Structure formats: structure tokens, C-alpha cells
Amino acid sequence: MEPEHLFKLNGKVAMVTGASKGIGKDIAKLLARAGADLALVARNKEELENVAAEIKALGKDAFILPFDLSDIIEIPAIVKRVMDHFGHIDILINNAGLNIAKEAESVTEDDWDKVMDINLKSVFFLSKEVGHYMREQQYGKIINMSSQMAFVGYFKRTAYSASKGGVTQLTKSLAIEWAQDQINVNAIAPTFIETDMTKPMFEDDRFKQEILNRIPLGRLAKTEDLYGSVLFLASDSSSMVTGHTIRVDGGWTVW
């Protein structure tokens, strides 16, 4: 394979959750620039339409699916709509995520369930459904968005850390089960990422400095820091890589 073609996704269809804003939106546009057509999943229809317009301006198809991923029973119907539209799904990016930042004593059962439903339960059941079609075509790339909190603990992250630890272990189990079907299942574990949504969090200078002190590279991550890992795992460059979680954490988990 020529170097310029290492990360090309021409002819591929990628399904991205949490695609209406932030990291999901940026990843969807990245995949489109690499040649993929997109199925975009998120709850907000208007925001999805805006992302789809940007992707179509890049010359790629974008199919929107306004949907709440906690509605597990409807997942098969959503995936079938993507299959009916494109005929195949080659890449699944399980990016949608939720954190309810509370001290452990304040976490309610409802808080716990909301975090688990989006961060872990939906990842399994969406992967299960898309995996059915990937097994039929004997090809697929599943990328789960984990977190450095799958490997370390942190304040006000009990449910979140538990869910992301589950994602990393789920990634390993699915990789083993589906290897014979030529489906690569991997994950990415970022550190704190500076986005429009997280910006208010870092307005607290003391909190921001505490986070920076834990990152050996000395800065917060940006969405662009994930691009290399995403393209590597989504492309055929990673055809012999499965069951791994790539830590894009600036060295946080090296300590």
C-alpha cells in the first residue's frame, strides 16, 4: 500500500454516534475528508442537518438519524435504515457519551443508569446489531470511545469511570469473538479534551492547573489529537490490530 493511501476510506460507510456536535461532529467530518460516506446519529435533528450539510459540501453522502441511544429496543430499526440507504456499514464509531459529575455519595440510581445506558449499554447493543451485518460481509471496523478514566480514578467520576472501564473490557471481548469474521474492535482513551462543551469547566483556574499537573505533556488535548488514532483504526492500516485501547492522554496513565 502506497503511503498516500494508508488512511484512505474511499467507498466506505461510517456510522458515528454523538455526531451532532463536539468530538463526534469533528470525527464525522474527518472521515468524510478521508473518503467515507456518513450515517450520523444524535438526538438533535437540526444540529444533525447542519453537520450533514457540511459533509455534503465535501462531496460525500450524509444520512441523518435523530435518535436517543438509550432506546435500545429501536436500535435494530435504526441500523436497518442505514443498511437500506447505503447497503453496507464498514466503520462504527461509538462516540456518544455522558458524564454526571457528582461525588459518590450524591450519585442516584437514575444518574448511574443514565451514564451506563449511553456510555456502555448502547455501545454493546449498537455494536451487536452492526456486527451482525459486518459478519455477513466479513469486514468491519468498530471504534469505541473509552477514556483514561478506564485506567485511573478521579473525583466525581464513579459512574463514568465504571462505564468506560466496561467499554475497554467490552472492546476486548468483542474483538475475540469477532476476529474470525475479520472485524477489528478497538478503542481510544482520551484525556481531558478542550471543546466548546468542556470550556466552562476549565474556567476554574485551580481545576485546570490540577489537570495540567497530571498530564506530562503539559497541555489539554484537542479533538485533532484524536485524528491519527481514528484514521488508523478506521482504515486498513490497522487490519492486524484488534482488542486494543489507544491512550491519547498526554502520558497521564504513565505515572
Query: Could you read off the pLDDT of 127-163 as tens digits, one per residue?
Result: 999 999 999 999 999 999 999 999 999 999 999 999 9
Please tell me the number of Cα atoms within 13 Å of 187 on its side-chain side.
30
133 in active site:
no
Residue 216: inside a domain: no
Q: Given pLDDT bands bounded at 50, 70 and 90, which one contains residue 255?
A: confident
Q: Given pLDDT bands bounded at 50, 70 and 90, which one contains residue 2?
A: low
Selecting among 133, 139, 160, 227, the annotated active-site residue is: 160
Residue 200: inside a domain: no
Residue 202: inside a domain: no
Average pLDDT over residues 63-74: 98
Residue 111: inside a domain: yes
Residue 3 has pLDDT above 80, yes or no: no
User: What's the domain count of the chain?
Assistant: 1
Average pLDDT over residues 57-66: 98
Residue 206: inside a domain: no
Q: Given pLDDT bands bounded at 50, 70 and 90, which one contains residue 81?
A: very high
pLDDT for position 198 = 82
Q: Which residues pair with 24 in a beta bridge?
A: none
pLDDT for position 135 = 98
pLDDT for position 64 = 98
Residue 100: inside a domain: yes
Residue 206 has pLDDT above 80, yes or no: yes
| Residues sharing a CB contact under 8 Å with residue 99, sequence separation 6 or more, in sequence order | 115, 157, 159, 160
Q: What letter represents residue 115's amino acid?
A: V
Residue 233: inside a domain: yes
CATH number at residue 172: 3.40.50.720
CA distance linking residue 36 with residue 229, whole number of Å? 16
Yes or no: say if 248 and 18 are a contact pair by the CB < 8 Å rule: no
Find the domain containing 241 and state its range.
3-193+222-249
Residue 207: inside a domain: no
Residue 5 has pLDDT above 80, yes or no: no
CA distance linking residue 183 with residue 135, whole number of Å? 7
